[in-house]
Structure 1
Amino acid sequence: MPDIHITREHGLGLPAARKLAFRWAEVAEDKLGMECTYEEGKSSDRVIFTRAGANGELKVTKSSFVLDARLGLLLGAFRERIESEIVKNLDELLAHEEPLKAFDHALAAHGKKAAPKKPAAKPAAKPKAKKA
Structure 2
Amino acid sequence: MADINIVQAHSLTPERAREAAQQVAEKIAREYGLACNWDGDVLRFERSGVTGALTLGAQQAAMEIKLGFLMGAFAPSIRAKVMEKMQKVFGSA
Same fold per superposition (TM over 0.5): yes
Identity %: 28
Runs of 4+ in 1 over 6 A off after TM superposition: none
Q: Is the CA contact (8 Å cut-off) linking 1:57 and 1:67 kept in structure 2? A: yes
Amino acid across the alignment from 2:85 = N
Query: Which structure's relative contact order is higher, taking Cα pairs within 8 Å and 6+ residues apart?
Result: 2
Q: Is the CA contact (8 Å cut-off) linking 2:9 and 2:91 kept in structure 1? A: no
Q: Is the CA contact (8 Å cut-off) linking 2:10 and 2:59 kept in structure 1? A: yes
Q: Equivalents in 1 of 2:27, 2:81: separation in Å?
A: 15
- Determine whether 1:85 maps to 2:76: no
Q: Which sections of structure 2, spanning at least 5 residues, go unmatched?
A: none
Amino acid across the alignment from 1:4 = I
Structure with greater strand percent: 2
For 1:48, the equivalent position in structure 2 comes to 44
For 2:18, the equivalent position in structure 1 comes to 18
For 2:69, the equivalent position in structure 1 comes to 73
Q: Which sections of structure 1, spanning at least 5 residues, go unmatched?
A: 98-132
**What is the CA distance between 1:32 and its match in structure 2?**
3.6
Q: Is the CA contact (8 Å cut-off) linking 2:8 and 2:90 kept in structure 1? A: no
Q: Secondary structure at the match of 1:37?
A: strand
Q: Secondary structure at the match of 1:12?
A: coil
Aligned-pair RMSD on alpha carbons?
A: 1.9
Q: Is the CA contact (8 Å cut-off) linking 1:5 and 1:69 kept in structure 2? A: yes
TM-score, structure 1 as length reference = 0.62
Q: 1:10 to 1:96 in 2, by over 3 A?
A: closer
Q: Equivalents in 1 of 2:52, 2:70: separation in Å?
A: 16
For 1:3, the equivalent position in structure 2 comes to 3
Paired residues, number: 93
